[in-house]
Structure 1
Amino acid sequence: MAVPTQNRPDVAVIGAGVVGLSAALALQARGLSVVVLDREGPAAGASAGNAGAFAFTDILPLASPGILRKAPRWLLDPLGPLSLPPAYAHRIAPWMWRFWRACHPSRVAASTAAQTALMDLSKAELDGFLAATGTAGMLRREGNLQVYEGEAEFVGSLPGWAARERHGIEFRHMGPDEMAEIQPGLSPRFTHGTFTPGWFSIADPKDYVLALAERFRAKGGTIEQAEVTALRAKDTGVAIDTAAGPREAAHVVVAAGAHSHRLAATLGERIPLETERGYNTTLPAGAFDLRTQVTFGGHGFVVTRLTSGIRVGGAVELGGLDLAPNFKRSEAMLRKAAGFLPGLKTDGGKQWMGFRPSLPDSLPAIGPARATRRVVYAFGHGHLGLTQSAGTARLVSELVAGACPAIDLAPFSPQRF
């Protein structure tokens, strides 16, 4: 069947999550015609169920010696901060090997430097992006409080804070009295804390992404529900196979989250993208007097105040795209949260599970496909899709326009593996 070329868009963005829509808006701002294709529609995946944080201070990669020290203990608890379902262990073994190699100190240093560069760019872009999209009123500057159970856990965190200090990140260590001033109602089991005032959040991540979708449409963009099954490079563009028939665009941006590697495979690339399945429970808004986001790092979850309620979630389950959700993980986090925040009302919550697209070295893939520079990848942000969305959007728009990227993209090359 011939593919019609009339009304062919300059760019087709595959993925209507926060990264895809941010990129679509940045491309639109350059005067390009853009269509967004998504199998479900805007804010249907991890962009709706995340913790709502712009975690610009979170520069340390998940792949690190510290996680290797904790992993054996965590993996013994099937409901703990890190789990690997036995049914998926054989499939993820190659990814785990790459993850282990990425934990070498020299690689961690390089990943931290690259992550910091993308964080700095994303933070610098954020205010302008929010103003341009009419979403500035959704930003909250309430900081983040990380809490520790005892001297040993606190001391164990200090190397990470030293790394942040070297990169100019502001924070303040404190004891129980200062912690109580910032967030009353914490259990006395938490004896130490660290507050980072530069940790921002959005009022509600789903509302934010839906607002981006509306702004994109208002500027003349179209969002279509379509399942893209394959991409094929052409001399003058990119052929897009969908379940409803063929399409074509001059350029394509792949920002399809945890499904992105499947599209890359149709172009002949094997990118080791895996899925960190995240769980949460969103409680009614009056469930607790939460004044800042609180991170329980030793237990792998956070508690966040959103307009939609109090969200208790996090942890990592390396379970792929196809296994059934294990909502016992949500229940376990909620039980812990009730003990850590006495007075938390745990009734009336709504459970959720979503897919976080993750690469072994904790850095996203941002750059052109090997087969054609007309396809640009922008996926694999792990826990940091919202945080890095504005910076990634700028980089994608520069790549499509043939401009010099704002930062060195070599560490983010999709072909680095």
Structure 2
Amino acid sequence: MSARDVVVIGGGVVGISCARWLQRDGHRVRVVDPQAPGQGCSFGNAGVFAVDSIIPEATPHALWDVPRMLLSSTSPLRLVWRDLPRLSPWFARFALQARPARVRASTASLAGLCAEAMAGYREITEGSAAASLMRHTGWAHVFERAETAAGARHEMDERARHGWGVRWLDGAELHERIPGLRHDVAAAVELPDIWMCVDPARFVERLAADVVAAGGQVEQARVTGLRPKTGGIDVQTAGGAIHADHVVVAAGVDSEGLASGLGDRLGLTAERGYHAMLESGEGGPPMPIMSGEHKFVTSPMANGVRLAGTAEFARADRAADPRRVRILLDRGRNLFPGLRTESHATWMGCRSTTPDSLPVIGRSAAAPAVTYACGHQHLGLTLAGITGRLVADDLAGREPRVDMRPLRPNRFRIFST
């Protein structure tokens, strides 16, 4: 296999992981992003390698819950209604993915990806300073009401069926495993196989430093378009064109615009998430905790506690809504009464999300010199390593470790606008 000049568009965890895997095959790699490495959603996520998260967001139960959630001002799901005309085609695709057969197919695909997720990191973190930020902590889902816990049993059984450890906790054992939790919660379920990252932004920064140490380039520039050429492709930036033999588009929600310039339709939308980063770790849990009712995570980080979550559907460029952070702070204090929330930083970022909860990984139909690696929704940190491996394997002509057909670009094209 001959070495190629590869430009990776995107300096988040997915793009940097792709760069490291491509370097292992001897390719000359240049990473381009308007921000420094590890910003965007790679900066603000909950830090969980959530390999148990194999159930897609679009399910019959979710469709039943959505109207009720949208009518509540404190719901973990919010829609900016004036953006609905733009978002309607995406929601129509989402509803179609909630059919039982599609749920089963998406679950099988997510399970296959998640089973390979940690192996996808092993080779690119071995000997890297990034590895010191990974911890085997497990994580738990906590349910304030017994009926919510009962409703979650099917999903937890599905996780167990795919090989993940699932251990229900109650009574004294629950509070022994999760000290600081409010005393009247109904139940919790621990998933002991899970790892976390205690500083996601620094994790990506260290992997990016590995890219440079291996002879690659990482630079800040905004890509405005892609122009296929004979024998390669030109990456258009404000500072001029960069010629490459191959391009990997790992630009999150901005990937859709770059794809449309080539005639591809990826089916992405912006699902905005928020966090409050507490300066104090006092009163926080020993492992990441997901709220079963309110769908946010309380994570012990290297420099405090992070409350992260919610799903807000709106234009990517719309200003952040500070009420979403206040809800996280209120919910966090309710679940962990000892949390010190007085001093905190806030953040909002845009996840790139597909209707079927599967990432987009594969070659452009319009330009074979372009590979897409985006659309990871809540699983960017989780699936970045295996995504990089799949991208490198495809470029090398190696047999992929999972079935790539469900991940193909343009799978939603028939419904595109």
TM-score (norm 1): 0.96
C-alpha separation in 1, matches of 2:48 and 2:253: 20
Q: 2:16 aligns with which of 14, 18, 21?
A: 21
SS, match of residue 109 in structure 2: helix
Structure 1 letter corresponding to 2:99: H
1:47-101 Cα shifts (integer Å, max 9, x gaps): 0110111001111111112222221221112332000011211110000000011
User: After superposition, where does 1:61-80 map in structure 2 within 5 Å?
Assistant: 61-80=56-75
Q: Which residue of 2 aligns with 1:219?
A: 214
8 Å CA contact retained: 2:148, 2:292: no
Structure 1 letter corresponding to 2:283: F
Percent identity between matched residues is 39
1:86-122 Cα shifts (integer Å, max 9, x gaps): 1211110000000011011110000000001111111
C-alpha separation in 1, matches of 2:222 and 2:122: 33
C-alpha separation in 1, matches of 2:71 and 2:57: 19
Tell me whether 1:165 sits opposite 2:154 in the alignment.
no
Deviation of 1:308 (Å):
2.5
1:214-241 Cα shifts (integer Å, max 9, x gaps): 1111111111111111112222001111
Deviation of 1:193 (Å):
0.7
SS, match of residue 308 in structure 2: strand
Deviation of 1:132 (Å):
4.6
Q: Which residue of 2 aligns with 1:45?
A: 40
Structure 1 letter corresponding to 2:327: A
Q: 1:107 aligns with which of 83, 90, 102?
A: 102
Q: Which residue of 2 aligns with 1:306?
A: 301
Tell me whether 1:342 sits opposite 2:337 in the alignment.
yes
Q: Which residue of 2 aligns with 1:124?
A: 119
Tell me whether 1:202 sits opposite 2:197 in the alignment.
yes
1:338-375 Cα shifts (integer Å, max 9, x gaps): 11111111111001001100011000000000112210
Bigger mean CA deviation after superposition, 11-20 or 64-73: 64-73
Structure 2 letter corresponding to 1:359: T
Q: 2:141 aligns with which of 129, 138, 146?
A: 146
8 Å CA contact retained: 2:144, 2:292: no
Q: Which residue of 2 aligns with 1:85?
A: 80
Deviation of 1:40 (Å):
1.6
Q: 1:257 aligns with which of 241, 252, 256?
A: 252
Q: Which residue of 2 aligns with 1:324?
A: 319
Q: Which residue of 2 aligns with 1:408?
A: 403
Q: Which residue of 2 aligns with 1:5?
A: none
Q: Which residue of 2 aligns with 1:281?
A: 276
Which structure 1 residue ranges, 5 or more long, are not aligned?
A: 1-7
Structure 2 letter corresponding to 1:176: G
Q: Which residue of 1 aligns with 2:415?
A: none
User: After superposition, where does 1:364-379 map in structure 2 within 5 Å?
Assistant: 364-379=359-374
Bigger mean CA deviation after superposition, 377-386 or 266-275: 266-275
Q: 2:238 aligns with which of 235, 238, 243?
A: 243
C-alpha separation in 1, matches of 2:246 and 2:95: 35
Bigger mean CA deviation after superposition, 357-366 or 263-272: 263-272
Structure 2 letter corresponding to 1:388: L
Structure 2 letter corresponding to 1:272: G
Deviation of 1:142 (Å):
0.9
Deviation of 1:290 (Å):
2.0
SS, match of residue 386 in structure 1: helix
State the number of aligned residues: 410
8 Å CA contact retained: 1:376, 1:399: no
C-alpha separation in 2, matches of 1:191 and 1:178: 12
Tell me whether 1:180 sits opposite 2:175 in the alignment.
yes
Structure 1 letter corresponding to 2:405: A
1:354-402 Cα shifts (integer Å, max 9, x gaps): 1100011000000000112210000000010000011001001111222
Q: 1:35 aligns with which of 16, 27, 30?
A: 30
Structure 1 letter corresponding to 2:31: V
C-alpha separation in 1, matches of 2:304 and 2:114: 27
8 Å CA contact retained: 1:231, 1:238: yes
SS, match of residue 277 in structure 1: strand
SS, match of residue 215 in structure 2: coil
SS, match of residue 70 in structure 1: helix
Give me the CA root mean square deviation.
Answer: 1.3
Q: Which residue of 1 aligns with 2:382?
A: 387
TM-score (norm 2): 0.96
Bigger mean CA deviation after superposition, 30-39 or 126-135: 126-135
Q: Which residue of 2 aligns with 1:3?
A: none
Bigger mean CA deviation after superposition, 179-188 or 374-383: 179-188
SS, match of residue 19 in structure 2: helix
Tell me whether 1:12 sits opposite 2:7 in the alignment.
yes
C-alpha separation in 2, matches of 1:82 and 1:178: 32
8 Å CA contact retained: 1:233, 1:371: no
